[in-house]
C-alpha cells in the first residue's frame, strides 16, 4: 500500500484545498474537551487529544435526524403526504478519527446495511464519507482495543491511516477513496515507511495495558448467562442513565417520533437507550424490562453475547473506553465482560 | 477523613454480624481514578470492600428509595439531609435505617482536576488536605481546597444531621460562606441575557438524564419527560425541549434539594446543572427560611400552608 509523506507545513494548505470539494469534520476542543464538528474556513482539526468525549457516530447517525416532512393544511397540494426531507449527502471527510471509532462503523453497518434491510439515511451518509484515521501513538489506560477486535493502528474502516511522526505525517492509503482525497489535497510525496509504521504500531500496541477476555463467550449458553447470579450485584450501582449508550460508538438504537408544529410536521428518529424504561414499554402498559437489573443485563448481553452469537465476529465493542471513563457510578464493561467470560454454572445435585 | 475507614469497617461488621441490618450501602474502590462505585455489602466477611475517601460524591440516599430491607447506609452531611427528605416523603422508614454518619470535609471535583491536568491521569492519591495527581512521567500536587466540588466548597452542613453512629468527631462547619453569589449574578441579568445564558449552559446536553437519575429527589415512577400517553415533551435535542427538562426538574426539586452536587458530578458533559436547583434553594431560604432535610419534624414549605406565608411573588 502506498504511503505519502505530508510535511506539517503543508498540512493546513492541503486541508484548505480539500474544503473546496469536501465538507471537513475533525476533532475540536470546545470548553473542556474535544468533540468532532464541521470545520469552518481556516479552522484546523486539533490532534492534541486522546479520545473525543462523544464518539463521532453522530456524524453518520445524528442524535436527532429528520427523515420525512409533511403538511397538514388541506388547502395545500399533497397535504398529509410524507415527503423525504432534503439533506446534504455531498462528499465529506472525517479527519483524525481514531481507528477504534472508525472500525465501530463497520459493526454498526451490520445493523443498518443488511441484505434484507437498507437504512437509506445511514448508508448514504456513510458512503459519502471518507475516513482519515489518526493512529494512536499513546493509547489511554482505559483503552482495550487490542482485545476488542481492533487496535491503535487498525486499518479496517479507514480510507487513510495518518501516523504522526513528529514534523510530518505518514499517510497510508487504504482505499481508492483515500487515494482520491490525498490527491485532491495535493499531497503526493511517496515514501517508503512501511517498516517505520510497523515499528510504531508495535510500540503503540505494547502500550495498551487494559484487556478483556472474550474467548469463551460464544460457547456459553444464553440462558446460563441470562440467569447468572451476578447481575443484581453488577446492576446495584447503575442509575439507568443513558450515558454509556450515548457515548458508545457502537450503540445504534433509535426511536421514531412525529412532531407537528401548527400545520407542518416532521418524522424524525432520535437515539434511544436500552437503559431507559420507556425503551421497552408496550402500548398495553406492560414493560418486559421493568427493572434496573433487567436493563443493565440487556445492555451487556446484547454487546457481549447476542451480538457475538448472531454475527460470529467478536463483541459489539471496540474498546474505546468511553463508557468506563464517563459512567457516573463506575460501571466497568471490562469487569463485566470478564465475569461473563469466566462464568461457570454451579451444578447442584439434588 | 481517610482515617474514617477502620471505623466504617468495625461498625459495618458489627451490624452485619449481629444481624441488626441486612446490608450496608457504601462505596467500593473504583476501577478508574477519582471514581468509587456505590455498592452493597451483605456479609461481615466482605466489609473490607468498603472504602472512604474524597471520591464518594454520589449521594447514597438515591439507593434507599422504596427499599424494604433493614439497611445501614454511610452518609455524609448532604446524604443525611436527603435521607431526612426521603423519610419525610415516605420513601424509606427511619426504623429501617442505621445511619453511619460521616463528618465530611468535601469531595474532589473530577471534572475540574482533569481539566487542570494536561496529560492523561493514571493515578490520584489522597493525603490529608493534599491531592497528588499522576500521569505517565509527571505529577502535580493540589491542595484539596482548590479542587473541591463547588457545592462542597460552599457547604455549611458537613456533619450528618441524623445518624445512629458517627465515625468520627464532628468537623468544624464552614461559616461566612456566600452560597448564592453565582445565582445573584444570573438574577441580575436581563431576560434575554438570562435566556442566552441558559441556552449556553445547556448546549452540550445529550439528554442522557444522568443528572436526574443520580438525584435522590428524582424518584417519580414516571418522570414527566418519560410520559408517553400522551407524550409531554419532545425527544429530540431541540434546545427548547432540553431547557424545559432542566428547568422543570429544578422546580420539582424546590425546597427539597440539599445541593449535594450528585447531578453535576454525574453529568458526562460537565454541565453546571446545579445552577438551576440553587436558584430554587435560594428562594426557599429567602422566602421561608428553609433549608431542606434539616429536621424530621418539619414539613417542607411547598407541602404546607401557613397563613403568614409570603405571597409578594404571586402576581
**Distance of CA A294 to CAs A234, A240, B272, B295, B303, Å?**
11, 11, 31, 37, 35
Look at residue A144 and give its three-state secondary structure: coil
* Alpha helix segments (H runs only) across A77-175: 99-112, 120-127
Q: Are A213 and A242 in contact (CB under 8 A)?
A: no
How large is the average pLDDT for residues B84-107?
A: 97
How large is the average pLDDT for residues A126-148?
A: 97
What percent of chain B has pLDDT above 90? 90
CB-CB under 8 Å, B238 with A328: no
How large is the average pLDDT for residues B169-189?
A: 96
Question: Closest to B208 (Cβ–Cβ): which among A138, A242, A330?
Answer: A242
How large is the average pLDDT for residues B215-243?
A: 94
Question: What domain range is A322 assigned to?
Answer: 222-342
Report chain B residues whose CB lies below 8 A from the CB of A268: 236
Look at the block and give the residue holding cell 502506498. Answer: A2
Asked if residue B204 has a cis previous peptide bond (ω within 30° of 0), the answer is no
What's the domain count of chain A?
2
CB-CB under 8 Å, A241 with B210: yes
How large is the average pLDDT for residues A76-94?
A: 94
Q: Is the pLDDT of residue A32 over 90?
A: no
Confidence at residue B105, expressed as pLDDT on a 0 to 100 scale = 95
Pick from A57, A62, A130: nearest CA to A100: A57
Residues 42-71 of B with CB under 8 A from A: 58, 62-63
Task: Tell me the residue ranges of DSSP E strands in chain A.
Answer: 3-7, 23-30, 33-38, 64-71, 83-84, 92-97, 129-134, 160-164, 168-173, 189-190, 254-261, 264-271
Confidence at residue A349, expressed as pLDDT on a 0 to 100 scale = 63
Mutation pick from A330, A333, A334 vs chain B, by most beta carbons of B within 10 Å, is A330
Give residue B97's pLDDT band: very low, low, confident or very high (50, 70, 90): very high
Residues A46 and A192 placed together within one structural domain of the fold = yes
Query: Which of A171, A206, A241 delimits the end of a domain?
Result: A206
Confidence at residue B215, expressed as pLDDT on a 0 to 100 scale = 98
Residues A50 and A138 placed together within one structural domain of the fold = yes
Q: How far apart are CA A293 and CA A227, in angstroms?
A: 11
Query: Which of A206, A241, A262 delimits the end of a domain?
Result: A206
Q: How far apart are CA A89 and CA A159, in angstroms?
A: 18
Give residue A20's pLDDT band: very low, low, confident or very high (50, 70, 90): very high
The residues, ordered by sequence, that sit 6+ positions from A23 with a Cβ below 8 Å of its Cβ are: A38, A88, A90, A91, A92, A93
Q: Which residue of B has its CA nearest to A34?
A: B269
Pick from A99, A84, A154, A91: nearest CA to A124: A91
Give residue B310's pLDDT band: very low, low, confident or very high (50, 70, 90): confident
Give residue B127's pLDDT band: very low, low, confident or very high (50, 70, 90): very high
Pick from A310, A313, A306: nearest CA to A274: A306
Report chain A residues whose CB lies below 8 A from the CB of B269: 53
Residues A122 and A185 placed together within one structural domain of the fold = yes
Look at residue B7 and give its three-state secondary structure: helix
Kindly state the cell numbers that stand for B27. 462505596
Q: Residue A265's beta-bridge partner residues?
A: A70, A260
Residues A163 and A103 placed together within one structural domain of the fold = yes
CB contacts < 8 A (A, B): 104
Residue B240 CB-density burial (10 A; 0-12 exposed, 13-18 middle, 19+ buried)? exposed
Kindly state the cell numbers that stand for A79. 397535504
Mean pLDDT of chain B: 95
Residues A151 and A259 placed together within one structural domain of the fold = no
Residues A99 and A149 placed together within one structural domain of the fold = yes
How large is the average pLDDT for residues A320-325?
A: 97
Q: How far apart are CA B257 and CA B264, in angstroms?
A: 13
Confidence at residue B229, expressed as pLDDT on a 0 to 100 scale = 87
Q: Is the pLDDT of residue B313 over 90?
A: no
Report chain A residues whose CB lies below 8 A from the CB of B267: 328
Q: How far apart are CA B258 and CA B156, in angstroms?
A: 11
Question: Closest to B58 (Cβ–Cβ): which among A54, A257, A329?
Answer: A329
Confidence at residue A30, expressed as pLDDT on a 0 to 100 scale = 83
Residues A261 and A191 placed together within one structural domain of the fold = no
**Distance of CA B240 to CAs A25, B205, B244, Å?**
26, 12, 6
CB-CB under 8 Å, B32 with A328: no
Residue A302 DSSP label: I
Q: Is the pLDDT of residue B312 over 90?
A: no
Residues A8 and A148 placed together within one structural domain of the fold = yes
CB-CB under 8 Å, B270 with A237: no
A317 domain residue, yes or no: yes
Question: Closest to A239 (Cβ–Cβ): which among B36, B115, B213?
Answer: B213
Residues A31 and A99 placed together within one structural domain of the fold = yes
Q: Is the pLDDT of residue A31 over 80?
A: no
Residues 245-284 of B with CB under 8 A from A: 265-270
pLDDT digits (tens, 9 = 90+) for A42-69: 899 999 998 999 999 999 999 999 999 9
pTM, two decimal places = 0.95
Residue A346 DSSP label: P
Confidence at residue B314, expressed as pLDDT on a 0 to 100 scale = 78
CB-CB under 8 Å, B40 with A257: no
The residues, ordered by sequence, that sit 6+ positions from A202 with a Cβ below 8 Å of its Cβ are: none
Report chain B residues whose CB lies below 8 A from the CB of A255: 235
User: How far apart are the CA of A197 and the nearest CA of chain B, in angstroms?
Assistant: 23
B96/A contact by beta carbon, under 8 A: no
CB-CB under 8 Å, B265 with A328: yes
Report chain A residues whose CB lies below 8 A from the CB of B65: none
Mean pLDDT of chain A: 96
Residues A32 and A170 placed together within one structural domain of the fold = yes
A238 domain residue, yes or no: yes
User: Which sequence spans correspond to the domains of chain B?
Assistant: 1-112+151-174, 178-304
Query: Which of A180, A206, A232 delimits the end of a domain?
Result: A206
Q: Are A305 and A217 in contact (CB under 8 A)?
A: yes
How large is the average pLDDT for residues A113-119?
A: 96
Q: How far apart are CA B139 and CA B121, in angstroms?
A: 9
Q: Is the pLDDT of residue A107 over 90?
A: yes
Mutation pick from A229, A239, A291, A323 vs chain B, by most beta carbons of B within 10 Å, is A239
Residues 120-159 of B with CB under 8 A from A: 120, 122
Confidence at residue B220, expressed as pLDDT on a 0 to 100 scale = 95
Q: Is the pLDDT of residue A132 over 80?
A: yes
Q: Is the pLDDT of residue B186 over 90?
A: yes
pLDDT digits (tens, 9 = 90+) for A214-271: 999 999 999 999 999 999 999 999 999 999 999 999 999 999 999 999 999 999 999 9
Question: Closest to B266 (Cβ–Cβ): which among A141, A278, A328?
Answer: A328
The residues, ordered by sequence, that sit 6+ positions from A104 with a Cβ below 8 Å of its Cβ are: A55, A57, A157, A249, A250, A318, A320
Mutation pick from B210, B220, B228, B239 vs chain A, by most beta carbons of A within 10 Å, is B210
Report chain B residues whose CB lies below 8 A from the CB of A239: 62, 210, 213-214, 266
Report chain A residues whose CB lies below 8 A from the CB of B236: 63-64, 257, 259, 268, 270
Look at the block and give the residue holding cell 432535610. Answer: B293
The residues, ordered by sequence, that sit 6+ positions from B254 with a Cβ below 8 Å of its Cβ are: B280, B281, B283, B284, B302
Residues A135 and A28 placed together within one structural domain of the fold = yes
pLDDT digits (tens, 9 = 90+) for A173-201: 999 999 999 999 999 999 999 999 999 99
CB-CB under 8 Å, A335 with B266: no
A252 domain residue, yes or no: yes
CB-CB under 8 Å, A31 with B204: yes
Report chain A residues whose CB lies below 8 A from the CB of B42: none
CB-CB under 8 Å, B31 with A332: yes
Residues A194 and A254 placed together within one structural domain of the fold = no
Q: Is the pLDDT of residue A350 over 70?
A: no
Amino acid at each position: 500500500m502506498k504511503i505519502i509523506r505530508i510535511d506539517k507545513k503543508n498540512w493546513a494548505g492541503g486541508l484548505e484545498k480539500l474544503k473546496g470539494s469536501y465538507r471537513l469534520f475533525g476533532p475540536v476542543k470546545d470548553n473542556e474537551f474535544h468533540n468532532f464538528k464541521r470545520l469552518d474556513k481556516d479552522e484546523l482539526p486539533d490532534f492534541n487529544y486522546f479520545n473525543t468525549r462523544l464518539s463521532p457516530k453522530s456524524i453518520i447517525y445524528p442524535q436527532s435526524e429528520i427523515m420525512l416532512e409533511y403538511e397538514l393544511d388541506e388547502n395545500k397540494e399533497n397535504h398529509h403526504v410524507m415527503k423525504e426531507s432534503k439533506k446534504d449527502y455531498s462528499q465529506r471527510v472525517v479527519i483524525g478519527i481514531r481507528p477504534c471509532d472508525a472500525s465501530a462503523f463497520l459493526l454498526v453497518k451490520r445493523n443498518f446495511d443488511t441484505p434484507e434491510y437498507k437504512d437509506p439515511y445511514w448508508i448514504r451518509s456513510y458512503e459519502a464519507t471518507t475516513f482519515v484515521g489518526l493512529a494512536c501513538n499513546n493509547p489511554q489506560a482505559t483503552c482495550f482495543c487490542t482485545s476488542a477486535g481492533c487496535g491503535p493502528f487498525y486499518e479496517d474502516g479507514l480510507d487513510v491511516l495518518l501516523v504522526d511522526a513528529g514534523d510530518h505525517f505518514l499517510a497510508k492509503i487504504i482505499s481508492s477513496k483515500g487515494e482520491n482525497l490525498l490527491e485532491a489535497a495535493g499531497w503526493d510525496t511517496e515514501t517508503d515507511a512501511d517498516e517505520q509504521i510497523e515499528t510504531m504500531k508495535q510500540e503503540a500496541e505494547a502500550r495498551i495495558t487494559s484487556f478483556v477476555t472474550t474467548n469463551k463467550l460464544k460457547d456459553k449458553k444464553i440462558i446460563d448467562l441470562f440467569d447468572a447470579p451476578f447481575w443484581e450485584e453488577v446492576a446495584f450501582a447503575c442509575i439507568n442513565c443513558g450515558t454509556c449508550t450515548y457515548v458508545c460508538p457502537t450503540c445504534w438504537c433509535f426511536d421514531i417520533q412525529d412532531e407537528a408544529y401548527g400545520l407542518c410536521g416532521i418524522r424524525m428518529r432520535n437515539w434511544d437507550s436500552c437503559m431507559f424504561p420507556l425503551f421497552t414499554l408496550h402500548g398495553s402498559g406492560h414493560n418486559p424490562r421493568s427493572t434496573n437489573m433487567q436493563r443493565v443485563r440487556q445492555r451487556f448481553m446484547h454487546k457481549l453475547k447476542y451480538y457475538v452469537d448472531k454475527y460470529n465476529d467478536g463483541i459489539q465493542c471496540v474498546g474505546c473506553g468511553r463508557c468506563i471513563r464517563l459512567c457516573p457510578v463506575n460501571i466497568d464493561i471490562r469487569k463485566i465482560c470478564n465475569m461473563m467470560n469466566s462464568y461457570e454454572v454451579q451444578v447442584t445435585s439434588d | 477523613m481517610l482515617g474514617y475507614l477502620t471505623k466504617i469497617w468495625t461498625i459495618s461488621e458489627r451490624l452485619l454480624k449481629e444481624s441488626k441490618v441486612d446490608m450496608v450501602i457504601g462505596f467500593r474502590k473504583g476501577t478508574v481514578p477519582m471514581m468509587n462505585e456505590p455498592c452493597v455489602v451483605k456479609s461481615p466477611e466482605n466489609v473490607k470492600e468498603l472504602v472512604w475517601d474524597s471520591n464518594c460524591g454520589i449521594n447514597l440516599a438515591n439507593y434507599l428509595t422504596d427499599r424494604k430491607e433493614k439497611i445501614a447506609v454511610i452518609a455524609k452531611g448532604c446524604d443525611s439531609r436527603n435521607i431526612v427528605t426521603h423519610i419525610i416523603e415516605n420513601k424509606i422508614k427511619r426504623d429501617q435505617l442505621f445511619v453511619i454518619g460521616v463528618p465530611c470535609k468535601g469531595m474532589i471535583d473530577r471534572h475540574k482536576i482533569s481539566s487542570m491536568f494536561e496529560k492523561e491521569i493514571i493515578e490520584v492519591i489522597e493525603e490529608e488536605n493534599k491531592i497528588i495527581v499522576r500521569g505517565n512521567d509527571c505529577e502535580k500536587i493540589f491542595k484539596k481546597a482548590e479542587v473541591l466540588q463547588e457545592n462542597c466548597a460552599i457547604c455549611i452542613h458537613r456533619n450528618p444531621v441524623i445518624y445512629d453512629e458517627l465515625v468520627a468527631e464532628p468537623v468544624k462547619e464552614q461559616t461566612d460562606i456566600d452560597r448564592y453569589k453565582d445565582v445573584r449574578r444570573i438574577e441580575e441579568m436581563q431576560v434575554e441575557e438570562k435566556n442566552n445564558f441558559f441556552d449556553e449552559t445547556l448546549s452540550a446536553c445529550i439528554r442522557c438524564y444522568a443528572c436526574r437519575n443520580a438525584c435522590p429527589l428524582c424518584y417519580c415512577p414516571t418522570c414527566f419527560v418519560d410520559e408517553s400517553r400522551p407524550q409531554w415533551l419532545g425527544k429530540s435535542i431541540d434546545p427548547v425541549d432540553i431547557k424545559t427538562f432542566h428547568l422543570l426538574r429544578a422546580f420539582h426539586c424546590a425546597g427539597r434539594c440539599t445541593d449535594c452536587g450528585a447531578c453535576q458530578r454525574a453529568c458526562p458533559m460537565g454541565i453546571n446543572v446545579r445552577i438551576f436547583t440553587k436558584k430554587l434553594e435560594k428562594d426557599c431560604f429567602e422566602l421561608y427560611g428553609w433549608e431542606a432535610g434539616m429536621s424530621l419534624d418539619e414539613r417542607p414549605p411547598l407541602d404546607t400552608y401557613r397563613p403568614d406565608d409570603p405571597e409578594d411573588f404571586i402576581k
